[in-house]
Structure 1
Amino acid sequence: MTAVPFSKRDDAKTRLILAAELLFAQGGIDGVSLREIASAAGQRNHHAVQYHFGNRETLVQAIFDFRMNQMEPMREQMLKEARRGGVLQDARTIVDIIFLPQLKLIDAHGDHSYANFLCQYLLRNADTEFGRFGGYLPTHIAEALALLRGRLDFLDDEAAQRRLITACFMFLNILSAHTRDTAGHRVDEAFSAALDDTLEQIVAATCMPLVRPIADQQPKKVSRA
């Protein structure tokens, strides 16, 4: 197992988080041993993950929390600018605040491994309550999600959460595809153009009116004689 390159300022817990994120992105959350993660993080103690985090699920949550907190300063600035510009209720502005900070999350190899990790995390932790993803959300992402929920006030929580999860996968796919295509030298479209198109798709899909009331969409029971 090749050790992951780190900054000299990274402590043991941060190194384990970054190594786990990269390995989980490559091999799946359940496809990598805790010992492999410790080795990739440069830890001589094979039980370093258990020592610092206790178990796999706590480590997974720590990765999510670590990245969410990293994005808070950028989201805070974007919220301030939107408030000054009077566009806090604009759907595209809200979507940008929620998703664009993820562009800054680059791993030690210059890839968006967090995008692959987050896809798996969402499948494990998605709740039916809007904006719940398995743990506490920091202030500014919580505010951005609350603004989006206000735009989706015509939906119940379960439907709004379903659209939010769909939007997340749409955005994460463009990051994963960009990393994959760049590595394979298959980039034919400017990433900025593809990104903008994806964000517009997210706005359209997330905020579209209901085709018919949710109550009418339940499958009808067939009575049997």
Structure 2
Amino acid sequence: MMRAREKILHAAERLFAERGLGVSLREIAAAAGQRNNSAVQYHFGGRAGLVEALYEFRMTPLNLRRRELIAELRASGRETDLAALVECFVGPLSEHVLAHGGETWYLRFSSRYVLSGGYRHWPFSSEHHSGVNELVPLLHARVPGLTEERLRVMFLHTVMVLADLEQRSGAPGFGRADAEAAAADLRTTAAALLTAG
């Protein structure tokens, strides 16, 4: 049985994804089935605490997977393999989308949050992105002259494409094979963005 805190996180993720970060905390509490209008403040201290908790809720397993992929890459001596480096970033996020078939809203929430200006230095400024912070020096070593702006464009491209894929997943006429093909194409375009001259 899902606890109140987790119900609030799921409701917030969906409502933020659907309507943006201006959704009232009272609406989030109601959508989570909480009779107490102050439930969000009780569990998270307010909007900022809720957003941080939502990132922690989703990013903890994604970060573990990303760091696992980086460790495998290092162990196999593939630190200069661009496709493998891209997989370290794209892989955990696309695996999340494919595993849940549109039943979570994390990438749609992330796309809204990033475009709202919530993370001015995204994705370099948060402890939730330690796997990304470990990956970035490897990308710089592999792609000489790679700028922070180009990295940001690749990261934004990945999040926006996966938000769209999350939206389409489970829709009539869009099956698992379509989702896997879209995720594979994303890996190709992400690598191309990094090396485009």
TM-score tier by shorter-chain length is 0.7 to 0.9
Deviation, 1:108, is 8.0
- Which residue of structure 2 lines up, in the alignment, with residue 87 of structure 1? 78
State percent identity of aligned pairs.
30
Q: Secondary structure at the match of 1:137?
A: helix
Of 105-114 and 84-93, more deviation after overlay is shown by: 105-114
Deviation, 1:47, is 0.7
Structure 2: 5+ residue stretches without partners: none
The structure with the largest helix share of the pair is 2
- Which residue of structure 2 lines up, in the alignment, with residue 142 of structure 1? 133
Separation of aligned partners in 1, 2:58 and 2:123? 16
Deviation, 1:92, is 1.8
Separation of aligned partners in 1, 2:100 and 2:69? 26
Contact 2:101 2:166 in 1 (8 A): no
Q: Which has the higher contact order (CA 8 A, sep 6+)?
A: 2
Name the aligned partner's letter for residue 59 of structure 1.
L
Change (3 A) 1:180 1:208: same
- Which residue of structure 2 lines up, in the alignment, with residue 127 of structure 1? 120
* Higher radius of gyration, 1 or 2: 1
1:134-213 equivalent positions in 2, closer than 5 A: 135-155=126-146, 159-160=147-148, 162-187=149-174, 190-209=178-197
Separation of aligned partners in 2, 1:11 and 1:89? 44
- Which residue of structure 1 lines up, in the alignment, with residue 24 of structure 2? 33
Change (3 A) 1:25 1:88: same
CA shift digits 1:171-198 (9 cap, x unpaired):
2333233344344424387322222222
- Which residue of structure 2 lines up, in the alignment, with residue 217 of structure 1? none
Contact 1:79 1:97 in 2 (8 A): yes
Name the aligned partner's letter for residue 49 of structure 2.
T
User: 1:48 pairs with 39, 63, 84, which one?
Assistant: 39
Separation of aligned partners in 2, 1:184 and 1:140? 32
Structure 1: 5+ residue stretches without partners: 1-7, 210-225
Q: Does 1:68 align with 2:78?
A: no
CA RMSD of aligned residues (A): 2.7
Change (3 A) 1:195 1:71: same
Deviation, 1:87, is 0.9
How many residues end up aligned between the 2 structures? 194
- TM-score computed with the length of structure 1 as normaliser: 0.73
